[in-house]
Chain A
């Protein structure tokens, strides 16, 4: 049996209607100029602007009306 060949893994992934995933170690500067180091294999950066945990996504995008989702 042949395994399907996995495609190359992206380091940055835009999730439709949701966050931007960052794979690996990164330092993210938030809107106020503060630096945040990633501390997981994959991190989710908020793109909707409504997360209470900036710069990270906290799932709030899911309760926004469709047109306010990124």
Chain B
């Protein structure tokens, strides 16, 4: 993919530095114009660690001046996420406590709207926005693997192996989504729709990278994973029904159908054998799990509100 378009002064200067290779230490003094500028800059810097950009030199991935800009943006994002997150007591039974914390969280649902009311055009918007994460589905959590002890490590790999197609690239979840996009007449290539991704999508993406790239935040990454998996089966079923209602091709529904079944397994693994095992070994990590889980739910609420507002819709 090509580097995204700038959305303000900071992203303009950082993206210019990336594409020209002329990186100056003064970049770290540039203030972002606002959240959109900050998030697209952070997204672009993170992307250097995933697949990179065709128009950016690969050696910039570890450039100290770019890492300094990234660190500043990360500190602000992390402070925001922590400030939004309530203190939660999960009780003595970690798995039951985490499941019930996630179940009790109530927010607007894009999937419910898609099932019943969305137009074809609105679902096409949604698929383009979702493509930013679904085309790199489970990639962030792969960074957490080497930071875990044997129990949680083996458990996370058991889940990831399923996300990555059980050895068959055709079944890789990101690939299923790409096939759905192509069949729906959308571009299946990685990052194709980054320039139209709303700031809420960028923030969802960046939070996952933040948690996954910092070892000290590994439990937040796993808490995020747990909440993500535990809010997937039901919404995926509603998405699939909405897609069928609107006549979308079978390849697109297949991605969601797979998630109804897979995530009914993954939620149990993520809560019990992965996050549960990490917390059993080190109970001081519970609050980080909560931070990750809450962030997942809260950022999805923000995305849903923004998406529904943009469509002039309400989730009834």
Contact = CB atoms under 8 A, between A and B. Distances in A.
A3 B269 contact: no
B158 interface: yes
Interface stretch (B1-9, B30-38, B256-264, B295-303): B256-264
Given A16-B96, A59-B263, A42 B154 contact: no
A18 B230 CA distance: 12
Contact of A41 (B103, B162, B233, B263): B162
Nearest to A43: B265
Contact residue range for chain B? 20 to 34
B24 interface: no
A41 B237 contact: no
B268 interface: yes
Contact of B264 (A3, A19, A23, A39): A19
Main SS at interface, chain B: helix
A40 B272 CA distance: 18
Contacts of B162: 40-42
Interface in A39-70: 39-44, 51-53, 56-60, 62-63
A18 B103 contact: no
A28 interface: no
Main SS at interface, chain A: loop
B244 interface: no
B158 A42 contact: yes
A59 B234 contact: yes
Interface of A: 3-7, 9, 13, 15-19, 21, 23, 39-44, 51-53, 56-60, 62-63
